[in-house]
């Protein structure tokens, strides 16, 4: 018996995704490996999907990793540095280049990007959190597309978010988004790592579903960034508990996800 046969899925929720299509404010998160190095070409189709949503009147916030990965070639680094100072240096160079690439891709659609850099301390401190909220609210009112990233240049190991999946969930809650889309190199959540035999795609995670029997891999660190299924599931639950619908899918399916197609894994929002 398959995973989906053992669960009583809500078929209408899986098939229609009306929460996504009706949303007025959406946060999209993309990881380093999806938009840097050999995959930097994915910035263009990602921006195309964001621009299409923007054109429909949706307020879109992009949480983008990739500053360190983008800066690495300029520092002649072949792999993600281990020491904090070099990570900060790579981020200082890469953040500038990354935002420039996004703006260049946005220019044909007449959309202006606004850079927002945050640390974990900003989200913990009420004054800093309020300032960040007001800034992003005003950017959205002005039809600017905020591009949010952790401020890697000044963040320390002790106060880092750890991954931008968590940051994206916190931003979605901060601005009252209805939907959070978490993008990665994998098209959905699976019952075990998708490369393993017998792995089954999970199309729907209901409120309170403990995912019994599902093998969720730990956080990983690769040559360009950090992340993994565990961080995404944790972030998805954090957002869903706050009443935010979450779609977990791959970067190349972002347009379908924003159109409400039944792609990836949908986390049902709590009815707060």
262 is in an annotated binding site: no
Provide CB contacts within 8 A for 53, sequence distance 6+. Answer: 26, 60, 258
65 is in an annotated binding site: yes
Tokens of 121: 């301390």
29 is in an annotated binding site: yes
59-to-75, 79, 179, 249, 265 alpha-carbon distances in Å: 36, 35, 11, 20, 22
Provide CB contacts within 8 A for 1, sequence distance 6+. Answer: none
34 is in an annotated binding site: no
Using CA atoms, how far apart are residues 263 and 17, in angstroms rounded to an integer?
Answer: 10
Burial code (b: 16+ CB inside 10 Å, e: under 16) for 192-222 equals beeeeeeeebbbbbeeeeeeeebebeeeeee
185 is in an annotated binding site: yes
Distance of CA 36 to the CA centre of its chain: 15
Using CA atoms, how far apart are residues 237 and 245, in angstroms rounded to an integer?
Answer: 10
The annotated binding site for substrate is made up of: 65, 152, 164
The annotated binding site for ATP is made up of: 29, 184-185
The annotated binding site is made up of: 29, 65, 152, 164, 184-185
């Amino acid at each position: 018996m398959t995973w989906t046969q053992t669960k009583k899925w809500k078929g209408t929720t899986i098939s229609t995704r009306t929460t996504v299509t009706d949303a007025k404010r959406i946060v999209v998160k993309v990881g380093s490996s999806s938009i840097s190095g050999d995959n930097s070409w994915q910035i263009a189709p990602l921006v195309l999907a964001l621009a299409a949503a923007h054109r429909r009147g949706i307020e879109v916030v992009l949480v983008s990793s990739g500053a360190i990965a983008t800066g690495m070639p300029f520092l002649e680094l072949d792999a993600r540095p281990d020491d904090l100072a070099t990570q900060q240096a790579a981020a200082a160079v890469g953040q500038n280049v990354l935002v420039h690439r996004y703006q260049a891709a946005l220019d044909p659609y007449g959309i202006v990007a606004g850079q927002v850099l945050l640390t974990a301390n900003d989200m913990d401190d009420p004054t800093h959190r309020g300032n960040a909220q007001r800034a992003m609210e005003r950017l959205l009112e002005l039809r600017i597309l905020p591009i949010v990233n952790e401020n890697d240049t000044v963040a320390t190991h002790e106060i880092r978010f750890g991954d931008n999946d968590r940051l994206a969930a916190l931003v979605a809650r901060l601005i009252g988004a209805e939907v959070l889309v978490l993008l990665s190199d994998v098209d959905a959540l699976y019952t075990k790592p998708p490369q393993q035999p017998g792995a089954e795609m999970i199309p729907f995670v209901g409120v309170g579903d403990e995912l019994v029997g599902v093998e969720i891999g730990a956080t990983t660190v690769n040559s360009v960034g950090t992340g993994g299924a565990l961080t995404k599931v944790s972030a998805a639950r954090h957002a869903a508990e706050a009443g935010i619908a979450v779609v977990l899918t791959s970067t190349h399916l972002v347009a379908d996800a924003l159109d409400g197609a039944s792609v990836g894994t949908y986390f049902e929002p709590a009815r707060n």
